[in-house]
């Protein structure tokens, strides 16, 4: 029998990776599990892929938007804090800037 016979169990007795329960893969991946994805309903996709994304296709970008706050929260959760913080942070910053600009304009006007 060959030393790496396909049918043979690994020498250390560990199961082949595909024989391990799915939960083990999930635990092993931990919080980084989603790092390699674009995010299943990634907003980036909706913005970047142009005319084709006018469609509510597999990307489901439009769907996510239509589903409203719930979907948005899903996305935020899925992004493990990254883009959620970014969106909220940017929005807040924009608001502050707007108010500040408006205040300055009013002051100048007066």
Partner 1 sequence: MRVLLSLCAALSAAPFAPAADLRVYPPEIRIGGPNRTQQLLVVEEENGRAVRDLTAGARFTPSTDTVKVDAGGLLTANGAGDFKITVAVGEKTATVGGTVSGDKPGDWNFRNHVIPTLTRTGCNAGACHGALAGKGGLKLSLRGYDPETDWFVLTRQALARRVDLTAPADSLTLKKAVRKMPHGGGTRFTEDSPHYKVLLDWIRAGAPGPKADDAHVERLDVFPPAVLVDPKGPKGTFRAIVRAVYSDGAAEDVTRWARFGSAEELVARVSEDGVITPAGSGEAAITVGFGTKVTTLTVTAPFPNDVKAPVFAASPRNNFVDEFVLKKLQLLQIPPSEQCTDAEFIRRAYLDACGILPTPDEVTAFLADADPKKRARLVDTLLDHPAFVDYWSHKWSDLFLVSSRKLPQPAMWAFYRKLRQSVADNQPWDRLARDVLTASGSSLTNGAGNYFVLHKDVSELAETTSIAFLGMSIGCAKCHNHPLEKWTQDQYWAYANLFARVGLKNGDRAGEVLVQSKPDGDALHLRRGTAMPAAPLDGRPLPADSAADRRAYFADWLTAPDNPYFAKALVNRVWRNYMGRGLVEAEDDLRETNPPSNRALFDALAADFVKNRYDVKHLMRVILNSAAYQRSSTPLKENVADDRFYSRYLLRRLPGEVILDAYSDVTGVPTPFDRITSAGGDAITPIATYPAGTRAAQVPDSLATSRFLDAFGRAERVQTCSCERTSDASVSQALHLNNGHTLNDKLRDKNSAVGKWIAAGLTDEQIVDRVFLLALGRNPTTVEKRKFLDILAGAAKEGAQSRREAVEDFVWAVLTGREFLFNH
Binding interface with partner 1 (CB under 8 A): 1-4, 6-8, 10-12, 14-18, 22, 25-26, 28-42, 45, 49, 51-60, 62-64, 71, 74-75, 77-78
| Burial category of 65 from C-beta neighbours within 10 Å (exposed 0-12, middle 13-18, buried 19 and up) | middle
Q: Residue 17 or 103: which CB sits closer to partner 1?
A: 17
- Is 1 or 108 the residue whose CB approaches partner 1 more closely? 1
As measured in angstroms, the least distance from the Cβ of 102 to partner 1 is 37
CB of 82 to partner 1, least distance (A): 13
Min separation Cβ 77 and partner 1, Å: 6
If the CB atoms of residues 4 and 106 are measured against partner 1, the closer one turns out to be 4
Q: How far is the CB of 63 from partner 1 (least distance, A)?
A: 5
Q: How far apart are CA 26 and CA 57, in angstroms?
A: 28
Cα 24 → chain centroid? 22
């Amino acid at each position: 029998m060959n030393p790496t016979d396909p049918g043979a169990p690994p020498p250390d007795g560990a199961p082949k990776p595909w024989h391990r329960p799915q939960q083990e893969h999930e635990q092993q991946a931990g919080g980084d599990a989603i790092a390699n994805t674009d995010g299943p309903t990634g907003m980036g996709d909706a913005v970047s892929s142009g005319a084709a994304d006018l469609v509510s296709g597999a990307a489901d970008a439009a769907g996510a938007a239509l589903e409203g706050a719930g979907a948005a929260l899903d996305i935020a959760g899925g992004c493990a804090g990254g883009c959620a913080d970014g969106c909220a942070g940017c929005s807040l910053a924009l608001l502050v800037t707007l108010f500040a600009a408006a205040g300055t304009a009013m002051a100048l006007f007066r």
